[in-house]
Amino acid sequence: MTAGADVVARLTGRAVTGERPLSGGLAEVTLDDGRVVIVKRADDPGAARAEAAGLRWLAGTGTVRVPDVHGHYGNWLVVDRVMEGRPSREAAVRFGRDLAALHAAGAPAFGAPPPGGPADAYIGLAPMRNEPGIDWPGWYAEHRVLPYLRRAAGQGTLRSGEAAVVERLCEQLPQLAGPAEPPARLHGDLWSGNVLWGADGHVRLIDPAAHGGHRETDLAMLRLFGCPHLEQVLDGYQEQAPLAGGWADRVGVHQLFPLLVHAVLFGRSYAEQALAVAREALAR
């Protein structure tokens, strides 16, 4: 039995009858009662702990659906498998309503980690510090945008002088951020790959970087890399919790953090996108 299968047996209390690798750190494991679970290996034990805490925090609202968490042990996380189907307009509207209800469940502060989750968490493969704050523009600049701006500049992904564009945007965030909003309970890494369209007609969310943040951030992330039936998702969201006026003009501001993360991880093309959205926001 592999190390992952051993962890599955430990956390589920069931014997393992089969294992199928899905990718480098991901496998599908069959239990002796016929159920199938997913075992995921993180590079850091803190990442497995953060993901488990995040999934439970989202699930605790009774709003969006997530896979049931069997637990984490060391670098390993075990969750139920999601049986996937095809995206539909009806599921998209339902997902939008559920996402609005998730955000409305709130958080103690901007940057607040889930209960039991570490302050030093992750967004995908990248470190993400959950440091609480009370003012969204200042918190977003200090704890999301500027740390990755410095890393991108330090490794040469952003060229000399380009960082000043993003720094100028950070200075103007109080004027660009729109009306003040209370901290929302965010998924935190809501790109389309983390949105699974279940065979039962309900969306499941996976791989959260959950924290307290601005609700427009999750919606901007959905748009960044494309999401099936996004307009229907937004219709359902607005029906449940209308967005503040001008929200569409602020999408680029909220995309700046994930774009800088991708610039650090994957290179220059994402740095150019980050600069483009910063310049567009400053020109408004």
Catalytic residues: 189
If you ran DSSP here, which 8-state letter would residue 113 be given? P
| CA quadruple 131, 132, 135, 140: dihedral, nearest 10 | 30
CA atoms within 13 A on the CB side of 19: 18
Which residue in the block uniquely carries the two structure tokens 């750190």?
Answer: 25
Q: Are 96 and 235 in contact (CB under 8 A)?
A: yes
Contacts of 273 (CB under 8 A, 6+ apart): 259
Contacts of 251 (CB under 8 A, 6+ apart): 216, 219, 220, 223
DSSP secondary structure string, 64-104? SB-PPEEEEETTEEEEEPP-B----HHHHHHHHHHHHHHHH
If you ran DSSP here, which 8-state letter would residue 154 be given? H
Phi, psi (rounded to 5 degrees) for 184:
-100, 155
Q: How far apart are CA 170 and CA 142, in angstroms?
A: 9
Q: Are 283 and 214 in contact (CB under 8 A)?
A: no
Q: How far apart are CA 265 and CA 270, in angstroms?
A: 9
Q: How far apart are CA 158 and CA 212, in angstroms?
A: 28
Cβ count near 126 (within 10 Å): 17
- Cα 273 vs. chain centroid, distance in angstroms? 19
